[in-house]
Structure 1
Amino acid sequence: MPYDTTLFVHVDEPDLVPDKRVPGASVKLLAQLKVAVFDQARGEHADPGQLALIIALDVADHRRERMVAAVRDALTAMPSGASFAVVTAGAERGGGPVRYYPAGPGSWAPADRQHRISAAFAMGAAPLAADGVPRSFGYDGWLAEARRLFAGCDRTLCRLLLVTDGSTGYEDASLTAQLAACGAEFSCEVIAVGNDWDYQPLERIAGRLRGTADAAGPDFAAALAAAVRRACRRAVPALPLEVTVRPGVRIESFVQFTPEHLELAADPPSGPYRHVFPTLPWDPAGVTSEFLLALRADGAGDRLGEELQFAMVSLGSLHEAVTARWRDPRLPPAPTASRTNDETTGESSRLLDSRHRMIMHFRRGLEALRGGQRAAAESHLGQAAAGAHQLAEGWMLNEIGGWGDIHDAAAGSVSVRLPADAHRVSVALLRLGARSASRGTSRTAGRQRPAGPCPACAEPAVPGALHCVRCGEELS
């Protein structure tokens, strides 16, 4: 294989305690995963001989001048030796997307100097949708054309770059069916051009097709060139994470924290216990991707005090077990071993789970704002504010403050301003995954305190934490 992989699984709370009050109740088990994939080419981008890129231009005719400039910059950003094609709306009224460059059935253009010049020149006459004319195809049409073109391509790294100004409508059922049909055939980078339209379907497309989405103004050349470089840098083909659970265990959630924060959805299960999760294409530099796996375990019939395997995580040929043990609820907890400063600066699975719930409440609060639902928005944003206060996530408090007033962050008391700007909400949701993954700067706005265990329950705390994520005790 042209790459090496590493897989690390850690359960930092291996003792599961059944609830004495509710016999047979399930218990949550959290496991951290760290994955790195090293491309042996060790370059700034993937092997150009394996790259195939489609630039799909779903924009109206009045954007032609800026579109030509954007395509020119995007072609310049491609490494020599890659193959590319440009797809535009069909020339016939009501026609679907078709390949415009290069001409000829089944052909792809090499990203050499001559084809870059020819393609950029040809864009001046490319068929684009007429201004104000509704299109009879949706996003599923663009995805279907990409699938058709990639099916006739012998390259292993297939990337779609979809540039859209929102003129294309969509139907949930058609888009859902097409996303399912795409499987892991290619990844998709999405550029949203212009304002005052709903970015919601783009979140779904980028999330399901293991890409990223970015919002750009009228001049989208820089955003498209950056998306090309990002797509070319991800050098490893589809390499999904597989989770196999034992009977009596189910997956509650599987969250990727870096490089993008998103909740992963499993492909249709191949059996009752095996689940396959598509992930973002791996970065060739070996940048570590972090995940949190939350399981629900039923302890009926399990012996107490013995290490048991609850799940198996697989990445290619690598396999790691998720193990824990049931503790007798009548016995006191085992003493927690003291941790070094290096260990306490890491994030425990409980803290990651709290952070994920904070972000999910913020996302649901924004969705409620978009729908004009005051009570739901204030409830979710209030819970996000309470989580941000506990975790000292100052950036989250600043985000919430942009949508209303925080009266008491610790108590989760928030009031919102309605009506909310739907476009602002769309932009915030589109960028939330990348923003919330930037943990290196996430706490700079909060009060900094030294790292150390909680004085009440000895739970480790990260620098800047104000309250314990386990018991809520104020940290000193």
Structure 2
Amino acid sequence: MPPPGGGGETVVPYATTLVVDVDEPELVPRVPGESVRLLAQVRVAVLDRAQGDHADPGQLALLIALDLAEHRRERMVTAMRAALAAMPSGAWFAVVTAAGGRGNGNGPMRYYPAEPGAWTPADRQHRVNAAFAMGAAPLAADGAPKSSGYEGWLGEARRMFAGCDRPLRRLLLVTDAGTGYEDASLTEELAACGTSFTCEVVAVGTGWDYQPLERIVSRLRGTADHAGPDFAAELAEAVRRACRRAVPALPLEVTVRPGVRIESFVQFKPQHLELAADPLSGPLRHVFHALPWDPEGTGSDFLLDLRVDGAGDPLGEVLQFAMVSLGPQHEAVTARWRDPGLPPARTASSASDETTGGSSRFLDSRNRMIAHLKKGLTCLEAGRRADAERHLGQAAAVAHRLRARWVLDEIEVWGDIHDAAAGSVSVSLPADAHRVSVTLMRLGARSANEGTSRTAGRQHTACPRPDCREPAVPGALYCVRCGEELS
């Protein structure tokens, strides 16, 4: 299969590297009518050679969406002051709030600046004006259901960014309990958003549902964090995160030959995330929008899982089953069908096992470990003890083999590990639904390759109430679960 050519290729104005490794290049067994699994590790690095840690403010547009109830007004004003102070001079910004927050409908509306579709520079005067205006910003009425789902906030952001010519566009969605969503509508809106902007989420309080938030940040290449009643530190950090230097979206493309299908495409660095192909791509050419590339050239690792049908293929010949592309760079995914009657070729790669870092089998084991951990927590939240113990036990067994201590520590929060190697785990019910949600959202921000979260290595504290003991991030003033003041 020749590499894709012709016009329409993505222009990559940065120094990039693309490497594809198939560490087990022989496909066996060859059984008529059955497909075979083919794993390939994809490594990407992107370097823009710019100076400094932050993006050029002249390229940035920040939209803050305040999906909050009226009783949070005072703390919202404090948080917005911190957010405005964290913006670099020269960036554009705007604020969207809930319209008619006193009972006349709660759909999103442009609030600052007041002109429809307008953006304003983050200079001293506009920061002061915006901070003052926040005291009268309409918020959702307390106790009233919010009429606009998450798809409504995303739709308003999409319309705002459509009139913005700055290339680095960031949405900061601050949300608490009460906003619902419809699967079909949210899916449709996320598809419409495409890669026109990224999204950082701050989930305030305890009543939010982690699932739509995880979908939003996964599709829009952002991160989600949770916060207690006082969320100024978290919102300011989200602003700083959004303003970090980042290479604009460079999609990875995977073109497969007929008879090959993509089972999954998982990113491991900088975050663990299962990528979804652009719904407009396919059936043979699939476009994946990964998380923003590290502009300093730190590598990103991916695992490409293919199902290969070899009907009619010759034995023993190196064949191309797929092509991975990053702009003008193309790397082939090749393997060969081995005659079942012949011994396998002895290669260094085929001798590696799943505990050897840097191999596709190692990444596949990591992916299965995290998938079982997530499924186990979901079953735990639903009160399904047997299913929770089965999935958490399988996660523990893989973690034991891979020496992933952080996974075993996480499981021990929810129960006891009797024999990690055998996958013997027992859990305690009922489980705290909010703590499960926080954990599942944190897993979306954990680097599966490094086994650390964004706050790894930093001192954590916990709620002092004996009946709570909710972990807290550095700088938190109140417990995100019960509201108790932290020491």
Q: TM-score, normalised by structure 2?
A: 0.86
In structure 2, what is the equivalent of residue 56 of structure 1? 65
The correspondence for 1:107, drawn from 115, 118, 124, is 118
Deviation of the 1:136 alpha carbon: 1.2
State the distance in 2 between where 1:307 and 1:25 align: 20
In structure 1, what is the equivalent of residue 444 of structure 2? 433
The correspondence for 2:262, drawn from 242, 245, 251, is 251
Deviates more, 1:279-288 or 1:258-267: 279-288
Identity among equivalent pairs (%)? 76
State the distance in 1 between where 2:360 and 2:167 align: 35
Deviations 1:94-116 (A, max 9, x none): 14111111111232011111111
In structure 2, what is the equivalent of residue 413 of structure 1? 424
State the distance in 1 between where 2:207 and 2:95 align: 26
Deviation of the 1:18 alpha carbon: 2.0
* Contact kept in structure 1, 2:376 and 2:388, CA below 8 Å: yes
Tell whether 2:88 aligns with 1:68.
no
State the distance in 2 between where 1:336 and 1:322 align: 17
Paired residue type of 2:37:
K
Deviations 1:260-286 (A, max 9, x none): 101111111534211111111223222
In structure 2, what is the equivalent of residue 333 of structure 1? 344
Deviations 1:387-429 (A, max 9, x none): 1111111111111111122222222122221211110110010
Deviations 1:337-370 (A, max 9, x none): 49999xx974211011011001001111111112
The correspondence for 1:147, drawn from 142, 158, 168, is 158
Paired residue type of 1:55:
I
State the distance in 1 between where 2:161 and 2:149 align: 19
State the distance in 1 between where 2:121 and 2:407 align: 45
* Contact kept in structure 1, 2:252 and 2:325, CA below 8 Å: yes
Sort the Cα spacing of 1:397 and 1:440 in 2 relative to 1 into closer, same or farther, 3 A. closer
The correspondence for 2:392, drawn from 381, 391, 405, is 381
Tell whether 2:132 aligns with 1:137.
no
Deviates more, 1:37-46 or 1:57-66: 37-46
Deviates more, 1:185-194 or 1:126-135: 126-135
Paired residue type of 1:428:
T
In structure 1, what is the equivalent of residue 321 of structure 2? 310
* Contact kept in structure 1, 2:178 and 2:207, CA below 8 Å: no
The correspondence for 1:35, drawn from 29, 44, 61, is 44
Q: Which runs of 5+ in 2 are unaligned?
A: 1-11, 454-487
Paired residue type of 1:101:
Y
Q: Report matched runs for 1:58-457 at 5 Å.
A: 58-91=67-100, 93-337=104-348, 346-437=357-448, 439=450
State the distance in 2 between where 1:441 and 1:163 align: 25
Sort the Cα spacing of 1:133 and 1:370 in 2 relative to 1 into closer, same or farther, 3 A. same
State the distance in 2 between where 1:195 and 1:411 align: 35
State the distance in 2 between where 1:244 and 1:374 align: 42
State the distance in 1 between where 2:283 and 2:153 align: 34
Deviation of the 1:171 alpha carbon: 2.2
Deviations 1:195-233 (A, max 9, x none): 243222111111111111111111211111221122122
State the distance in 1 between where 2:356 and 2:343 align: 27
Give runs of ≥4 in structure 1 deviating > 4 Å: 338-341
Deviations 1:430-474 (A, max 9, x none): 0002234361669xxxxxxxxxxxxxxxxxxxxxxxxxxxxxxxx
**SS of the residue aligned with 2:426?**
strand
* Contact kept in structure 1, 2:259 and 2:308, CA below 8 Å: yes
**SS of the residue aligned with 1:437?**
coil
Deviation of the 1:2 alpha carbon: 4.7
Deviation of the 1:144 alpha carbon: 0.9
Paired residue type of 2:318:
E
* Contact kept in structure 1, 2:404 and 2:451, CA below 8 Å: no
Q: Which runs of 5+ in 1 are unaligned?
A: 443-476
* Contact kept in structure 2, 1:11 and 1:30, CA below 8 Å: yes
State the distance in 2 between where 1:430 and 1:440 align: 15
State the distance in 2 between where 1:320 and 1:418 align: 49
> In angstroms, what is the RMSD of aligned CA positions?
2.1
In structure 2, what is the equivalent of residue 454 of structure 1? none
State the distance in 2 between where 1:179 and 1:303 align: 43
Count of residues in Structure 1 that have an aligned counterpart in Structure 2: 438
Paired residue type of 2:211:
Q
Sort the Cα spacing of 1:336 and 1:40 in 2 relative to 1 into closer, same or farther, 3 A. closer
